[in-house]
Amino acid sequence: MKFYRLLLVLLATSLPMTLYGAVQAAQVGDFALLDHQGKFHQLSWYDDQKAVVIFIQGNGCPIARNGALTLKAIRDDFAEQGVAFFMLNPQPQDDRDSISNEAAEFNYDFPILVDESQLVAESLGVDRTSEVFVIDPKTLRVLYRGPIDDRLGYEAQKPEAQNHYLRDALTAVLSGTVVATDTPEAPGCLISFPARDKYQKSTISYADDIAPILIENCVSCHHDSGIAPWSMKDHKMVQGWSRMMKEVLMTRRMPPGQIDMHVGKSIKDVIEITPAELQMLVYWIDAGASMGEGENDPLSELIFSDSLFSLGEPDLIYTVPAQSIPATGLIDYRYIPVELNLDEDVWIKAIEFAPGDRKVLHHIIAYLQSPADKSTGGRDEGDGRDDSIGGFAPGRQADAFRDDSGRLIRKGSNLLLQMHYTTSGKETIDETTVGIYLHDKPPKYVMSGGVAGQRRFMVPPHAKEHELKGEMMIESDAYLYAMTPHMHFRGRYMSYSAQYPDGTSELLLSVPKYNFNWQFSYHLEEPLLLPAGTRLVAHGAMDNSAQNPFNPNPEVPVVFGLQTKHEMFFGFNTLRYVGDTPASLGDSEIPEKNPSSGS
Ligand code: HEC
């Protein structure tokens, strides 16, 4: 065996290029999954490692449990040398909770990737648990697949392994030699693939199965005048884009703004592709993305409203000064003041932005500057005095309060808009308008904005996960309505939790893969009471490494600041303090600012 393998190595290195290519291993697609603790992992993000090891785990499988011990020993020897280790669980009968229990019981201290749709395992050709894969994260080639060693069999164990396949493979990878490929099949527990088997027998209907998923999750941006660069206007477009669709689904790049659906409070209108929907889409795409004979095309029948404002005619309309946007390049955030010219205090019930050019306007965050803020002269966004009062992002609903709620804007206040543009390949001018909707009389409830933020930090060069935390003390009973995480290019993830005065705490929202391109507001299905003394905590991390594709420069430390080359760490939120009523705020006094802390 040993001799035979050596021969293979020699053969492989001396073969002419073309033939050598032919014996090279299969390439896998880049993919992203959440692990059993809700953390986001994408294969290509580990391309600073020399190898990625993925062990197929399954609850209850004796060979997998036993193999895990050997895997740990190997990890302890190789992790320091640039090898990242994972487990991957594709078993349809396991879920995050049962996987966490198994991990606790058997002391697995690996991130266990939960392959809910089984599509990653399928793409790797996985059949049984306990098989192990060694992948080159730069080329995404499988360098080795097979058993860890030859110690374990069905109901049989040898005291010692004779062949240490995984160790040998890693040693070969690290020393730059070719990995042997003459390994036996890996013993392990067979995995069922019910969805795959089902869709091999029944066809997926474009009109009944696929189009509804796209309408629900994609078309709000992918229509003719939407922000997305191509329109899902009919089957032909979707079919043409289908392989690219599969890629962005497998890397979880689309739909944008995904949250961890397994934790936190229920969120309204969140865009989510379920594992079952993902399976349907991918099997349909793999089968050629075709439309059945005589099927109608729901996508081509959609009608989009061409009215500027979705909420109807606003009471006040302001035009943002025209912004000229070049064809290409990165554009720093622009801060554009909008004079409101109010000669009396007003109660607003909604604010909506009508983008001039949806192809380039990526987001707006509107900060309210009260007369008191302005009188202090220069401003410093995020010093706690400026509230975010609403904003625009593609796919984000207009910021409307309930009928009985509103926000007070004092006369003399102005808006300051943080506008983020991206270039679209074509020079353009954006003329955005702002619509404000007013209550005729003071509403019953007063809404406020708050922020759990951190303003003093330094993210070292190349830090892959620099954790940050911001806190906001809730000083009197309040209801939480919405959360809006805000970071720049290096933002990696953010979660919100509530630490209650009785010592308990609760995770409210987790955005495992933050992307600064998408400034979503996550509205709670039910407002949540935060009793006085609760700490609202935003926890997250910055990624200043070269693996972060948005990072303009991993060589420099990053500090707090307004522009995109600087960073922000803000957990914006929308609250209603129980004691705040229009009467309690008086008519002419400036309302007290929200308590906010964090620096
Ligand atoms: C909130 C808006 C929005 C939603 C919802 C959305 N997309 Fe996109 N999509 C975009 C934008 C913007 C781009 C261009 C990104 C860029 O600049 O590369 C894009 C690009 C794409 C691309 C082209 C590849 C690329 O990276 O440019 C594909 C394919 C795609 N989206 C598929 C989907 C699918 C499938 C869905 C639904 C599951 C979806 N999108 C939902 C906004 C959206």
pLDDT tens readout for residues 343-394: 999 999 999 999 999 889 988 989 888 776 654 443 444 444 347 788 888 7
Ligand 1 centre to CA of 181 (Å) is 39
What was the pLDDT predicted at 359? 85
The set of residues, in sequence order, having a beta carbon less than 8 Å from that of 298 and lying 6+ positions away, is 207, 211, 212, 215
Is 482 a pocket residue for ligand 1 (Cβ < 6 Å)? no
Structure tokens at 463: 């830090």
Express as a percent the part of the chain with pLDDT over 70.
90
What was the pLDDT predicted at 3? 35
10 Å Cβ neighbour count for 222?
23
Atom of ligand 1 nearest to the CA of 245: 29
From 248, 249, 277, 280, the mutation candidate for ligand 1 (largest count of ligand atoms within 8 A of CB) is 248
Is 394 a pocket residue for ligand 1 (Cβ < 6 Å)? yes
What was the pLDDT predicted at 252? 95
Nearest CA among 105, 128, 111 for reference residue 34: 111
What was the pLDDT predicted at 46? 97
Ligand 1 centre to CA of 29 (Å) is 18
Q: Average pLDDT of the chain?
A: 88
Express as a percent the part of the chain with pLDDT over 90.
67
From 224, 227, 254, the mutation candidate for ligand 1 (largest count of ligand atoms within 8 A of CB) is 254
Which pLDDT tens digit goes with each residue over 316-345?
999 999 999 999 988 888 999 999 999 999
CA torsion 134→511→459→369, rounded to 10°? 160
Ligand 1 centre to CA of 249 (Å) is 10
What was the pLDDT predicted at 173? 95
Atom of ligand 1 nearest to the CA of 395: 1
10 Å Cβ neighbour count for 52?
22
Ligand 1 centre to CA of 218 (Å) is 7
Is 550 a pocket residue for ligand 1 (Cβ < 6 Å)? no
What was the pLDDT predicted at 152? 79
What was the pLDDT predicted at 25? 55
Identify the residue whose C-alpha is closest to ligand 1 atom 3.
221
Q: Which residues of the chain have pLDDT under 50?
A: 1-24, 375-386, 587-599
Ligand 1 centre to CA of 228 (Å) is 6
Atom of ligand 1 nearest to the CA of 247: 29
Q: Are 46 and 164 in contact (CB under 8 A)?
A: no
Ligand 1 centre to CA of 188 (Å) is 39
Ligand 1 centre to CA of 98 (Å) is 33
Ligand 1 centre to CA of 91 (Å) is 30
Residue 595, exposed/middle/buried by CB under 10 A (0-12, 13-18, 19+)? Answer: middle
Structure tokens at 140: 């995404």
Is 285 a pocket residue for ligand 1 (Cβ < 6 Å)? no
